[in-house]
Structure 1
Amino acid sequence: MAESATLKVGSLERMRMYENVVVSAAWLADRLGDEETSVIDVRDGWEFDGIGHVPGAASVPFAEFRSETGDEGMLPGAETWESLLSAAGVGPEDHLVAYDDTHGVFAARFLVTAELYGHPPDRLHLLDGDYSAWNQAHETTSDAPARATTDYVVREPAHSPLVEYETVAEALDDDGTVIVDTREPREYDEGHLPDAVNVDWRDLVDDETRGLKPEAELRSILDDAGITPVRRVLLYCNTARRISHTYVVLRSLGYEDVGFYEGSLTEWTERGGPVETA
């Protein structure tokens, strides 16, 4: 097979991996009770227990799957991740559906972490709309989930979106790459990577439905900022939480070349990277 044809096949395979990244409440409702579907609630434990949760969901609070070793927001470590998913009853090939009550930004971080630790990308799903949206039309419970524990083991991902400081620095002068700052405009104005475009992750969310805006509107917002599928996209924020949501959105829209700068502005400034202000 010619190299160009091989690349095309690989590209199509990656696109299929992300076909069902964002799923509706109806999609999830049809799969509740399925042994191969693990629903993960990343809110605080008191919310899970006191307010209620999606039936069968396991509680994996956001604070438990981020590093606490001085690099706040970074990956929690393989052993920690294995322990969390084993306790939640997650199997190696399960469909993981994550939700929070903050428009999906914390749930997206969970899903990106799962991808980086080797869970199959085609089995990672963000609930479109958060717990508040689910609660309006679907059953909730305060009962503890009945799933048995597992022995979850991390794997090397087939493809990692992570990019390092050096990659981002080299991309500053690359017209084929767009660097995207997903923070609030106020933060962007105070200091951002040179020539980065600002698309606040909340710009992609519908406040009324608490889920994503319609696809046509999403594409219009992104196109207006020069974030098109034909360009390489490098994402950053402060500590890799907000870029997780934008990463999931771009994947759901079929963007293929998306880089995830986990170190984000925290590492960038620590290493003396150039910064512009408004």
Structure 2
Amino acid sequence: MRFIIFLLLIAGLFTACQEKATKVTAQEPIISSNLSAEKIMADNPVILDVRSPFEYNLAHVPGSINVRWEDFSEQSPEYRGLLLSDLWNVARRLSLIGIDPDTKVVVLGKGRQGNGEEGRIAWTLQVLGVRNVITTVHTSYRELNPKEESEGIKNKPYWKPVVDESLRIGLDDFKAYAFQELPEMKSMSRARSKALGGLPPGALDAPVASLFGMNFNDAKGKVVIVDVRGPQEFAINNLTKIKGVKAPVVNIEWREFFNDKGLPNKEVEKILAAKGVTKDKIVMTISNHGVRSASAVYALRSMGFRQSLNYAGGYEQWK
């Protein structure tokens, strides 16, 4: 009898140590623009600090981890906006700092004084299936000090990412919607084809349209491209100056999407609506190399723009 009880205890321990199934929900949390520090720090989140190592070493929240958006992106200059192709390896690295799909993560940065780095990290985590992510400004770090002393980083079991392809768009697909011409499906990657249910070459629907349950012709009429760079950058060069671009292109600087606390700014919805960007549209964002545009998509998704995507390659890859 004792032997049987011993076996049952061992089985229970083994089950408890098994890796949890990756969960990806279809809806993003609506993040309030006046979220309190107490609520941000509830549930003992993993805290990522995206500032420079120098700034991090000067002052940081106890227990926070210093990361850079480049840590998860390609290294070659023309592709540096793209995420690393081996996302399984990225997920393993995240597990070593205590992050899995069910982990609450707070990303600290410089907010509107920075370049959207915290939003880029938040978007990266969401692409991998980590949904409970909040960005905020590091200047409030005294308010964000953990109430209890940190026990240090606790590793999580390795997990396989369930990639949310609806958060990003590649160069070929982006050009197809910019020029409003059906793309050649032969260029579709195996990963994207698999994510879309194995669409064969020559399928009638372009990839993004399929993700949102539309055909290409219906989708292209709903597309609007939001260039989130500053007005001066936009004035010097933008997609409207490229021959053949037919999709509407508007300029709304990424800083408009965040308030002074680094949280998504609901007031930007008025600016978006005035330029014809509503929640029924497919919103494709672009910046120089996918950092500020990723930040904008993070904010858009948190405000209910379910059909917003980041063109991570940006102008650097386009040219």
- TM-score normalised by length of structure 1: 0.75
CA contact 1:89–1:149 (8 Å) conserved in 2? yes
Q: Which residue of 2 aligns with 1:236?
A: 286
**1:74 is matched with which residue: 67, 73, 82?**
82
Quick one: structure 1 residues 67 and 169, their matched pair in 2 at CA, closer, same or farther if it must change by over 3 Å?
closer
Structure 1 residues 55-66: aligned runs within 5 Å: 55-66=62-73
Larger Rg: 2
Structure 1 distance, partners of 2:303, 2:138, is: 23
Quick one: structure 1 residues 82 and 231, their matched pair in 2 at CA, closer, same or farther if it must change by over 3 Å?
closer
Report the secondary structure of 2:56's partner residue: helix
Gaps of 5+ in 2: 1-24, 181-219, 241-247
Instruction: Report deviation, 1:159.
Output: 4.6
Cα deviation 1:196-224 (Å, max 9, x = unaligned): 10001012334xx3434752x22111111
CA contact 2:98–2:155 (8 Å) conserved in 1? yes
Gaps of 5+ in 1: 1-12, 270-278
The residue identity in structure 1 corresponding to 2:168 is: L
CA contact 1:44–1:62 (8 Å) conserved in 2? no
2:164 pairs with 1:163: no
Instruction: Report deviation, 1:99.
Output: 1.5
CA contact 2:96–2:156 (8 Å) conserved in 1? yes
**2:251 is matched with which residue: 189, 198, 213?**
198
Report the secondary structure of 1:223's partner residue: helix
CA contact 1:89–1:148 (8 Å) conserved in 2? yes
Quick one: structure 1 residues 236 and 225, their matched pair in 2 at CA, closer, same or farther if it must change by over 3 Å?
same
Report the secondary structure of 2:26's partner residue: helix
Quick one: structure 1 residues 233 and 158, their matched pair in 2 at CA, closer, same or farther if it must change by over 3 Å?
closer
Q: Which residue of 2 aligns with 1:101?
A: 110
Instruction: Report deviation, 1:24.
Output: 4.0
Instruction: Report deviation, 1:185.
Output: 1.0
Structure 2 distance, partners of 1:28, 1:68, is: 33
Q: Which residue of 1 aligns with 2:307?
A: 257
CA contact 1:82–1:153 (8 Å) conserved in 2? yes
2:190 pairs with 1:182: no
Report the secondary structure of 2:106's partner residue: strand
Cα deviation 1:41-100 (Å, max 9, x = unaligned): 1222232232222x3322223342332134223213436523542332223421122111
Quick one: structure 1 residues 158 and 79, their matched pair in 2 at CA, closer, same or farther if it must change by over 3 Å?
closer
Query: Percent identity, aligned pairs only?
Result: 21
Report the secondary structure of 1:18's partner residue: coil
Structure 1 distance, partners of 2:54, 2:150, is: 13
Aligned residue-pair number: 242
Quick one: structure 1 residues 117 and 157, their matched pair in 2 at CA, closer, same or farther if it must change by over 3 Å?
same
Q: Which residue of 2 aligns with 1:26?
A: 38
